[in-house]
């Protein structure tokens, strides 16, 4: 097992004070901190190998291209894709999901159905709304069972019918912490001939993820939620699906031939990477994959889950608090809660006075919040550098906030 307290030393951003207190960073669901090895990998690339990829015959360009394509192969291994060509580099989960919705979704027709869940992040909801408006397809939703935050799978047979062409769902809810049975959901989608699209933003950097074991058609994630940089992420797609999809954007790098009136496209992944890619942060993403695998993602999953269970247990002992998500079952590494008569933004502001970084608001889950009768919640989200002692600091801060607001 890694020494988690020692792991904290790898992250320079954690060694600071905020408002006179040691930083307690519990906003990992929004973005994680970066270890020094990732920072060094990106810095070293820009210091020695910086050049545009795929287009140059000089030494720097060839080194940059090798590093970029090496990063693609590393990401493919990280999620057990069948080949590097099944990995498309994007700006992150949002762009990955928009790519699938705009490109694969262009074949949808009136009468087709897109099935989502009520716990989806806006990134896996709004793109499908846009596609439905363009194509005439209809939207359906798998309901969430109240505060416990589980999908009501008892109605899935009624919803997942042959009219469904796309079933898109999150792996771990960014608000509820619910871990969905993604392999089962993908198998159910295949039974009716629907493609499956998995939002893995909250899971890929926190637990082992194997796309072939899951059996998904597409899977999207972001680098900045797994100890890498912002503006980099990936879309996994089965090769036969990617090669049958039209380009999403046009430009340099994705063409086989261009004439004045028509063009031909390269196969995946180049087909979906028009223009100059974020090659420097792709190198950083590969370094993050190395770092997380060296720690062990199964151990990381246990660490995050134990912190989430401990936080849920201690928060539930406080008065006038409402907690969301599974109470007994395993959950992702986060806990969302609401204090009676105290706005989530006030909680986050007061906690910041104690050096604690939390997240308050609707967490890009407005439809779910509306269903639960909430305007927002406070979210504490954990990662490999967080400790049980930091949860005690959080509890003391919440007690102070409750005392202040009476």
Residues catalogued as catalytic: 364
Tokens 């305007």 map to which residue? 375
Q: Which two tokens stand for residue 45?
A: 């690339």
Q: Do 199 and 123 meet the contact criterion of CB atoms below 8 Å apart?
A: yes
Angle between helices 279-295 and 59-79 (to 10 degrees): 40
CA distances from 362 to 260, 337, 359 (A): 48, 11, 9
CA distances from 100 to 69, 203, 247 (A): 22, 19, 10
Residue (of 236, 276, 210) closest to 100 by Cα position: 236
Q: Do 63 and 247 meet the contact criterion of CB atoms below 8 Å apart?
A: no
Residues 23, 303: Cα–Cα separation, whole Å: 20
Give exposure, 265-275, as e/b (b: 16+ Cβ within 10 Å).
beebbbbbbbe
């Amino acid at each position: 097992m890694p020494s988690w307290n020692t792991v904290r030393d790898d992250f320079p951003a954690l060694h600071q004070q905020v408002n006179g207190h040691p930083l307690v960073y519990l906003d990992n669901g929004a973005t994680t901190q970066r270890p020094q090895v990732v920072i060094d990998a990106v810095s070293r690339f820009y210091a020695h190998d910086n050049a545009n990829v795929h287009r140059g015959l000089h030494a720097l360009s060839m080194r940059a291209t090798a590093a970029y394509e090496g990063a693609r192969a590393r990401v493919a291994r990280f999620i057990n894709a069948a080949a590097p060509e099944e990995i498309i580099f994007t700006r992150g989960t949002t762009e990955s999901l928009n790519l699938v919705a705009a490109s694969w979704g262009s074949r949808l027709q009136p009468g087709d159905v897109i099935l989502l869940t009520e716990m989806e992040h806006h990134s896996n909801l709004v793109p499908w709304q846009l596609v439905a408006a363009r194509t005439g397809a209809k939207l359906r939703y798998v309901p969430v069972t109240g505060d416990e935050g589980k999908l009501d799978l008892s109605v899935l047979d009624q919803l997942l019918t042959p009219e469904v062409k796309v079933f898109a769902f999150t792996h771990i809810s960014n608000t509820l912490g619910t871990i969905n049975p993604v392999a089962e959901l993908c198998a159910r989608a295949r039974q009716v001939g629907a493609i499956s699209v998995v939002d893995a933003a909250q899971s890929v950097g926190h637990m082992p993820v194997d796309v072939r074991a899951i059996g998904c058609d597409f899977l999207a994630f972001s680098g900045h939620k797994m100890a890498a940089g912002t503006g980099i992420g990936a879309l996994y797609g089965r090769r036969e699906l990617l090669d049958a999809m039209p380009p999403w954007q046009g430009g340099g790098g994705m063409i086989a031939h261009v004439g004045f009136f028509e063009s031909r496209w390269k196969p995946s992944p180049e087909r979906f990477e028009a223009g100059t890619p974020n090659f420097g942060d792709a190198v950083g993403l590969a370094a993050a994959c190395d770092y997380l695998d060296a720690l062990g993602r199964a151990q990381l999953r246990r660490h995050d889950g134990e912190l989430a269970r401990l936080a849920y247990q201690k928060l539930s002992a406080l008065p006038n608090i409402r907690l969301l998500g599974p109470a007994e079952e395993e959950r992702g590494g986060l806990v969302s809660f609401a204090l009676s008569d105290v706005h989530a933004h006030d909680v986050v502001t007061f906690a910041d006075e104690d050096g604690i970084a939390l997240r308050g608001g609707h967490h890009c889950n407005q439809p779910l919040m509306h269903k639960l009768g909430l305007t927002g919640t406070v979210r504490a989200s954990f990662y490999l550098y967080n400790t049980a002692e930091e949860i005690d600091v959080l509890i003391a801060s919440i007690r102070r906030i409750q005392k202040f607001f009476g």
